[in-house]
Amino acid sequence: MDFSLSTDQLQLQQVAHEFARKQIRPMAAEYDGRSDPKEAFPWEIYEKGNEIGFNKALIPEAFGGPGLGNLDLAIIIEELAWGDAGVALTYLAHWLALRPLINGGTDEQRSRFLAPVIADTDGHYLAAIAATEHGTAGDLSPRDHLRQRTDQRVGVTPEDFATNYTIPAAERRESTTTARLDGDHYVINGTKRFITNGPVASVYLVTATMDPSKPDAEATGCFMVAANTPGISIGKIENKMGHRLSKMSEVLFEDVCIPSSDRIPTEATIHGLASSTTNVGALCVGLARAAYEEALSYAKARYKGGNRIIFHQAISMKLADMAIGIKTGRLLTHLAAWENDQGKPLGASQYMAKVYCSDMALKVTLEAQQIFGGYGYMRDFPVEKWVRDARVCPIYDFTNEMLRVNHILPSIAFDPSA
């Protein structure tokens, strides 16, 4: 068993770290502080990142890319997130949208959709995955709930609890975006929300039900859709608490007509989503590392209570626990990525890496804030940004509750060694 990175991987790590240090860190706070989310997307950073090739990283050599593996990508994402979590998320979402095409598309589909990424003449080529929808929470959508919260609520009675019944995953019909086959075309209708890169993407990977009368598990199709296809428009641009250097919006599809040949296998998307959770783990490690390094340096410098605060045991124990969490998270992330690279079936390790590292990042950034005392709460110190950035990690790319209950538990329940 050899845990050391290869020479190539160490070089990748260095390139990504230098990019984060020189191009991301000096600008991150300024962009993060912009109140209008439309102004917070730093094209100048992405243009330079795309010039280095971050948007081409996972494209196979046969299609003109470097064909990096999952461990390579985890190494890059950790460093980018050390610079800024939003920048890392932009690339993570871009890779996630392309991965199913790369793993499951035909050669014809791959040549057609990957050629513009390789060409990327203006350094603006990004992709997005459009899966999440408003859903059917009770009778109210989340936004209706927000509007009506003072005068109308969905009633849940004691009888509801007594007779409560959750529809099994295999029977759920929750997708409202539809893809209807019409001759040799699919016609897509629906609204997707919370789409990272939504307003800046050149191509979307869209999920939709091909038959609303059937459960989503049977009827979901996945489609590559160019962003300039007629009928696509951008809805609300979300004003996020953190990850502000990534841009997110609703994406609306109205009678969007695409060739039936642009459908890609649903299993490839499910596999891609599982792979991506490893990258979220790596993002969380990089983010936690940034906060830990700053807190360590502050604890060595701050003199209070008769000593430098690093020598107060309460503070030194926090720092030790933070370091343990980061190292454990990195090991789990690298294991999950390595298993993926070995072609092992994806499952518990990938989801565990996401759940563990996102909980860890939130804890570590909060502890860093505590070590900074009152200054940790001030906007001209960097720690409060990391807390805001970390808060979403247990929520996005499947909530940690969903992953624990629906993915990790079923894996370990039948195979305790998973």
Beta bridge partners of residue 209, listed in sequence order: 178, 220
Nearer Cβ to ligand FAD, position 23 or 277?
Answer: 277
Q: CB of residue 397 vs ligand FAD: minimum separation in angstroms?
A: 6
Q: Phi/psi class of residue 259: alpha, beta or left (left: φ > 0; alpha: ψ in -120 to 50)?
A: beta
Contacting residues toward ligand FAD, per CB under 6 A: 93, 128-132, 135, 194-196, 240, 243, 248, 392, 395-399, 401-402, 405-406
Q: CB of residue 317 vs ligand FAD: minimum separation in angstroms?
A: 31
Q: CB of residue 97 vs ligand FAD: minimum separation in angstroms?
A: 8
User: Which amino acid is located at 68 in the chain?
Assistant: L
Query: Among candidates 124, 47, 65, 59, which has minimal Cα distance to 97?
Result: 59
User: Which amino acid is located at 92 in the chain?
Assistant: L
Q: CB of residue 197 vs ligand FAD: minimum separation in angstroms?
A: 7
R_g of the chain, CA atoms, integer Å: 22
Give the orientation angle of helix 383-391 with respect to helix 348-371, to 10 degrees.
Answer: 150
Nearer Cβ to ligand FAD, position 26 or 142?
Answer: 142
Nearer Cβ to ligand FAD, position 51 or 171?
Answer: 171
Nearer Cβ to ligand FAD, position 59 or 130?
Answer: 130
Q: CB of residue 195 vs ligand FAD: minimum separation in angstroms?
A: 5
Exposed / middle / buried, residue 399 (Cβ in 10 Å: 0-12, 13-18, 19+): middle
CB 364 within 8 A of CB 288: yes
Nearer Cβ to ligand FAD, position 73 or 310?
Answer: 73
Q: CB of residue 297 vs ligand FAD: minimum separation in angstroms?
A: 28
Beta-carbon contacts of 148 under 8 Å, excluding residues fewer than 6 positions away, are 140
Nearer Cβ to ligand FAD, position 161 or 303?
Answer: 161
DSSP symbol at 408: I
CB 236 within 8 A of CB 249: yes
